[in-house]
Amino acid sequence: MSTEPDTLLLGLGNPVLRDDAVGLIVASRLYPWLDPQQIELKTASVGGLGFIDLITGYRRLVMIDALLTSAQPIGHVHFLRREQLSSTQRTVSLHDIGFGEALEMGAHMGLPMPSDISAYGIEVHDPFALGKTLTPRLRNVLPQALLAILRHAFPSRAQWPAELAMILRNRRCRSVSSHCDTRAGVAVALRRSADGALRVLLIKRAESMRRYPGQWAFPGGMCQGEEHPFVTMAREAHEEMGWQRESYIPLGRLDPAITAGGEILFPFVLAPAATALDQPWPVTQPATEFTCAQEFALDAVFDAPRMMVGTRVIGSWQQPVYSITIDGQQLNGATARILLQLAALWRRYSVRG
């Protein structure tokens, strides 16, 4: 027998006032990683009496809004107690009643009001300027705010795939021309092993390969014509590794990297599907293009000795070229750069405060 969700995730904000929209954005980006059978998403710009209709009938309320105190860094998440709920942009109104009064009025009218309330105010830079994008100062720290609320409000859902997706999908990714003839899509396949380490799968290219023989690389290949790099990655992952599309979850993309031969690699980060979240990635196809597959711990990547061996250029963007050594294996060029980028992002955002 199906039941209605008993929790409301409520994002508040005005979509045409830059930072004021942060509550709408954060709630909408959290929701795909939550359980829709238990949690419902609503977004609104109302305040005062408008709250009553929105929140009636739910046992739990998780509310996210913009907050301007100028006392905390931009992006700081304020965890608000019930008596503090008049401090965010929409929970107080000069011409209406406040949120606390709305709760009391709803209860007095005999309406089922939430008994469990969690409210979050995200410190903003400018909630008054017209515009449909967040200010750069707030946009740059959005992953921290998303992670803080996910971990505090929904700790059971704060598994590494959701956290990494929050990081990757809410950062500014480098863009390069998608019309060049040297694009490639590669799979950065991750899993968490029994020792708790996050590990990435690499393959060692066969010595018989014309390009990059004997080098460690990511599963993937060159785009065919105007093929999107993600489509290329999915096709090659199936052909090389035997991975079906439903066997993994795309979490996001890293910045592109340039190979020694001038190809531009678009790296797509993958997690195993929930049914195999902590299982090793299967390698079921005959190894015609590679001789072995091996997992490398992200922490080991971050701490590995590295040597800068040159630079490569995409347009006006210069990329340092590194060589790193992990577990006695040398990882070079674009492979090393992608690994270092991912390890740095994970180290930066995954530490819990």
* pLDDT at res. 353: 42
pLDDT digits (tens, 9 = 90+) for 92-112: 443 345 677 788 888 889 999
Question: What pLDDT score was predicted for residue 274?
Answer: 73
**pLDDT tens-digit profile of 116-159?**
999 999 999 999 999 999 999 999 999 999 999 999 999 999 88
pLDDT beyond 80 at 306: yes
Q: Tell whether the model's pLDDT for residue 352 goes beyond 80.
A: no
Q: Are 329 and 286 in contact (CB under 8 A)?
A: no
Q: How far apart are CA 45 and CA 270, in angstroms?
A: 35
Which segment of 80-84, 322-326, 341-345 scores lowest on mean pLDDT? Answer: 80-84
User: What is the structure's pLDDT at 2?
Assistant: 55
Rounded to whole angstroms, how far apart are CA atoms 353 and 349? 10
Contact 24, 76 (CB under 8 A): no
pLDDT at 1: 46
Share of the chain above pLDDT 90, in %: 60
Supply the pLDDT for residue 135: 95
Residue by residue, what is the 3-state secondary structure of the chain? CCCCCCEEEEEECCCCEHHHHHHHHHHHHHHHHCCCCCEEEEEECCCCCHHHHHHCCCCEEEEEEEECCCCCCCCCEEEECHHHCCCCCCCCCCCCCCHHHHHHHHHHCCCCCCCEEEEEEEECCCCCCEECCCCHHHHCCHHHHHHHHHHHHCHHHCCHHHHHHHHHHCCCCCCCCCCCCCEEEEEEEEEECCCCCEEEEEEEECCCCCCCCCCEECCEEECCCCCCHHHHHHHHHHHHHCCCHHHEEEEEECCCEECCCCCEEEEEEEEECHHHCCCCCCCCCCCCCEEEEEEEEHHHHHHCCEEEEEEEEECCEEEEEEEEEECCEEEEHHHHHHHHHHHHHHHHHHCCC
Per-residue pLDDT at 96: 47
**Residues 252-274 pLDDT 10s:** 999 999 888 888 999 999 999 87
**Residue 89 confidence class, pLDDT cut points 50, 70, 90:** low
What confidence score (pLDDT) does residue 95 get? 35
Distance, CA of 268 to CA of 186 (rounded, Å): 6
The predicted pLDDT at position 267 comes to: 97
pLDDT at 42 > cutoff 80: yes
pLDDT digits (tens, 9 = 90+) for 159-202: 899 999 999 998 888 776 544 568 999 999 999 998 889 999 99
- CB under 8 Å to 306, separation ≥6 — which residues? 322, 323, 324, 336, 340
Classify each residue of 31-58 as buried b or exposed e, where b means 16 or more C-beta atoms within 10 Å of its C-beta: bebbeeeebbbebbbebbebbbebbeeb
- Residues 169 and 348: their CA atoms lie apart, in Å, by 15
What is the structure's pLDDT at 324?
Answer: 94
Cβ contact 202:186 at 8 Å = no
Query: Across residues 9-15, what is the average pLDDT?
Result: 94
What are all long-range contacts of 299-302, with beta carbons under 8 Å and residues at least 24 apart?
Answer: 299/197, 299/198, 299/343, 299/347, 300/326, 300/327, 301/200, 301/326, 301/339, 301/340, 301/342, 301/343, 302/340, 302/343, 302/344, 302/346, 302/347
Domains of the chain: 7-158 (3.40.50.1450), 183-350 (3.90.79.10)
> What is the residue-averaged pLDDT of the chain?
87
Is the pLDDT assigned to residue 277 strictly greater than 80?
no
Please check the confidence at residue 21 and state whether its pLDDT lies above 90: yes
pTM: 0.83
Rg value, the chain, Cα: 24
- How do residues 201-218 score in pLDDT, each as one tens digit? 999 998 888 888 899 999
- Angle of CA points 267, 273, 277, to nearest 5°: 95
Span 287-311, average pLDDT: 87
Within 8 A by CB and 6+ apart from 231, the residues are 185, 223
